[in-house]
Amino acid sequence: MVQKRVSWLNDSSVIQQAVHELQEQLSLPQLPQRMECYDISHIQGSNVVGSMVVFQDGKPRTDQYRRFRIKTVEGVDDYASMQEMLRRRFERLSKARKLDAESPSDSWGIVPDLVLIDGGKGHLSAALEVFLQLGLDDVPLASLAKENEWIYVPDSTEPIVLPRHSQSLYLVQRLRDEAHRFAITYHRNLRSKASLKSSIDMVTGIGPKRKRMLLRRFGTIQAIKEADIDDIAAVPGLTRSLAMRLKETL
């Protein structure tokens, strides 16, 4: 699988074939050279996060990936979480358009040729509502449903079914999978930090300042578990006795 992915990324002719196929199959007004994909990740509603990944000419632009920590939605509500993320991203584009900026100063002001949402009809409707509110209904929008790998677009009740072995389907799957991977990675990092903070809170003598120093030095609870007592004691503000107490707690 990895070899196939690397081979695909290095084959410019195949990538261009995929991009042209996708334009035709989705009836896009122009080649989807810049594609953005969005995904929401959570476990039982905790640490809800979103991801934005960008493909330019069929290849990842990792420097333009963005992560969103959902702030205004309580509990599990994928639609509302998706709307918050899209609103935070596309309000910037809407403002740039109002300023009539021909050359955007950053990637936030670039109009994507296709916005892909990880989800089905409901996710698409939620996304479209945000686009209409922001006056961005001319930006091509679609969703990719995991169950059947069907694509949904606005103003159509029937899904678009890409040929199973087509390059275009492989392209949108890669885009979706990358958004999912990026969101999951961010979510795991937040969970790890939350777990670390919770465990550290149980140790008498380690307050907010020392906790920050530990987080800065080790990053994860697993790293502290694997560290020597001397390494922990070397963190500014910690003593050997505190380091021993922390190791015992973990």
- Report the CATH number at residue 206: 1.10.150.20
Cα(101)–Cα(93) distance, integer angstroms:
10
Domain assignment present for 234: yes
Angle subtended at Cα 223 by Cα 219 and Cα 179, rounded to the nearest 5 degrees:
55
> For residues 123, 126, 127 and 129, what is the CA-based torsion angle, rounded to 10 degrees?
160
Residues 216 and 94 in one domain: no
Which of 68-77, 144-153, 179-188, 206-215 ranks highest by mean pLDDT? 144-153
Cβ atoms of residues 72 and 25 within 8 Å: no
Q: Are residues 72 and 31 in the same domain?
A: yes
Average pLDDT of span 32-50: 84
Reported as a pLDDT band with limits 50, 70 and 90, residue 105 is: low
Question: Residue 171's pLDDT is what?
Answer: 95
Residue partners of 231: CB distance under 8 A and separation at least 6 = none
Mean pLDDT of the chain: 85
Q: What is the pTM of this model?
A: 0.73
- pLDDT tens digit sequence for 144-181: 998 889 999 999 989 999 999 899 999 999 999 999 88
Q: How far apart are CA 32 and CA 222, in angstroms?
A: 42
Alpha helices in 11-55 (DSSP H): 12-26
- Residue 152's domain spans which residues? 2-187
CATH of the domain at 21: 3.30.420.340
> Is residue 7 very low, low, confident or very high in pLDDT (cuts 50, 70, 90)?
low
CB of 67 closer than 8 Å to CB of 54: no
Residue 65 lies in a domain: yes
**What mean pLDDT comes out for the span 195-219?**
77
- Whether the per-residue pLDDT at 231 is higher than 80: the answer is yes
In a domain, 196, yes or no: no
Same domain, 236 and 183: no
Please tell me the predicted confidence (pLDDT) of residue 3: 45
Residue ending a domain, choose from 155, 187, 219: 187
Number of separate domains in the chain = 2
pLDDT at 196: 56
* Angle between the N-to-C axes of helices 208-218 and 167-201, in degrees from 0 to 180, rounded to the nearest 10: 140
Q: Are residues 116 and 224 in the same domain?
A: no
